[in-house]
Amino acid sequence: MISLLIKNLTIKMKSMINPIIKAEAFHQLSQTQNLILIDARFVYSNYEKGHLDGALHVDLNKDLSQIVENPAHGGRHPLPSPAAFGSTLGKLGITPESHVIVYDDKNASMSAARFWWMLKALGHEKVQVLDGGFQAAEKQGFLVNNEIATPQSSSPYPVTDWKSPLADLTEVKSASGKRNQMIIDVRESERYQGLKEPIDKIAGHIPGAINLPFTENLDENGSFLSQEKLKEKYLKAFKATPSSEIIVHCGSGVTACHTLLAITFAGLDIPKLYVGSWSEWSRNNLPMVTES
Cα separation of 63 and 55, whole Å? 15
In 3D space, the residue among 46, 57, 110 whose CA is nearest the CA of residue 88 turns out to be 57
Cα separation of 97 and 105, whole Å? 26
In 3D space, the residue among 224, 58, 229 whose CA is nearest the CA of residue 132 turns out to be 224
Q: At what angle do helices 255-265 and 110-121 cross, to 10 degrees?
A: 70
Nearest 5 degrees, angle CA 285-CA 291-CA 292?
A: 100
257 is catalytic: no
Cα separation of 52 and 102, whole Å? 11
* CA dist 3 → 7, 10, 11, 13, 267 (Å): 6, 10, 12, 15, 21
Cα separation of 150 and 164, whole Å? 30
Q: Give the DSSP H or E segment for 100.
A: strand 100-103
Cα separation of 27 and 75, whole Å? 37
Cα separation of 136 and 221, whole Å? 10
Contacts of 28 (CB under 8 A, 6+ apart): none
Of 167, 250, 256, 262, the active-site residue reads 250
246-249, strands of its sheet edge to edge: 166-167, 272-274, 246-249, 182-185, 210-211
Catalytic residues: 250
